[in-house]
Amino acid sequence: IIACPCALGLATPTSIMVGTGLGAEKGILVKSAAALEQAKKIQAIILDKTGTITNGKPILTAAKSVTTMSDTDMLALAASIEKNSKHPLAEAIVAHSKEQKLALQAVDEFEEIPGHGLMGSIAGTQYFVGTRKLMDREKIEYKEHLSDIEKQEDEGNTVMFFASKTELLGIISVADTAKETSAAAVKAFADLGIQVYMITGDNERTAKAVARGVGIAPENVFAQVLPEEKSNYVKKLQAEGLTVGMVGDGINDAPALTQANIGIAIGAGTDVAIESADIVLMKSDLMDAITAIKLSRQTMRNIKQNLFFAFGYNSAGIPIAAGLLFPLFGFLLSPMIAAGAMAASSISVLLNALRLKRVNLK
């Protein structure tokens, strides 16, 4: 009777059940017990920029033609190509063009070039909208405008280039502001002893400007990263012996979310990202990632306490029931006392697990 292991069997699942339930109440969906256990071990976390650190709703801040073409005509051509893309930056350009009631044209031979930009033909002329990498690939010169470009980037703008097959036609700047809670979340990660990194496809100047704004060290910024390369940066940190968490929201974050020890998806993100993640933040608030880690730590501590209660009764009761005290005191453990002790151990475990509901995760 005293050796009954029922409390031992209850110790872990009761804490897991209460922990995941508490997470759900706070808008944190933990998909498995393994995810809840692993979250406490995170030593480094990589945050995607767009939609995770920032609001993911960029706005157009400037559109400047660098030829005799007017600014509005240049923007209308660029928006005509961008309307075929679902990228947040593209949507910002199209939204601004619609506000200005610009006439968008039909596009032929549209192509998305991952990590670089877009290509399309309008009235037989081929145009490109994208990053420096795209300009370098197409051998389009932009260096004479570099000082203006770098000034925009230092202010946290993402600068895109609009060009024909032969020359640069315009420069378009788009800004995506950081979420109100991002800086507080970065500080909270650091307070938990977790190294914070940022990863983005943006150029280094823009990336570091955003990172500075939320308190991420410049050396911890991975910029100009192609979508298919994101998981490599996770592997790089894992190769250093770190347990890595990844927070993202887009389709291109899915491989990195899968590669990370713990993938955390923003609830407002794509279905692919949510499916790839171990934990989903339904409120899309980065502070909830802090709560998830604290919840993991508290749950694992609670499990250890439960195991102590379970083993404590057995460790003390079994030797007595086996007659340890009989030669000295003539005392044997009554089956009724043994049954009471076993019931008490189970009740202790359950009550301690329920105590998790009152834990402060702020």
Give the active site residues. 48
Q: What is the CA angle 50-55-58, rounded to 5?
A: 75
What phi and psi values does residue 158 have, to the nearest 5 degrees? Answer: -95, 120
Q: CA-CA distance, 131 to 337, in Å (whole number)? A: 76
Distance CA 196, CA 192 (A): 11
Angle of helix 204-214 versus helix 146-154 axis, rounded to 10:
20
Task: Return the sign of the alpha-carbon dihedral for residues 131, 160, 169, 86.
Answer: positive
Side chain identity, residue 247: V
User: 277 and 263 in contact (C-beta within 8 Å)?
Assistant: yes
**Is there a contact between 58 and 200 (Cβ–Cβ < 8 Å)?**
no
Q: What share of the chain is helix, strand, coil (3-state, %, to 5)?
A: 50, 20, 30
Q: What phi and psi values does residue 233 have, to the nearest 5 degrees? A: -70, -30
- Let me know the angle formed at the C-alpha of 296 by 31 and 229, rounded to the nearest 5 degrees: 60
DSSP 51: I
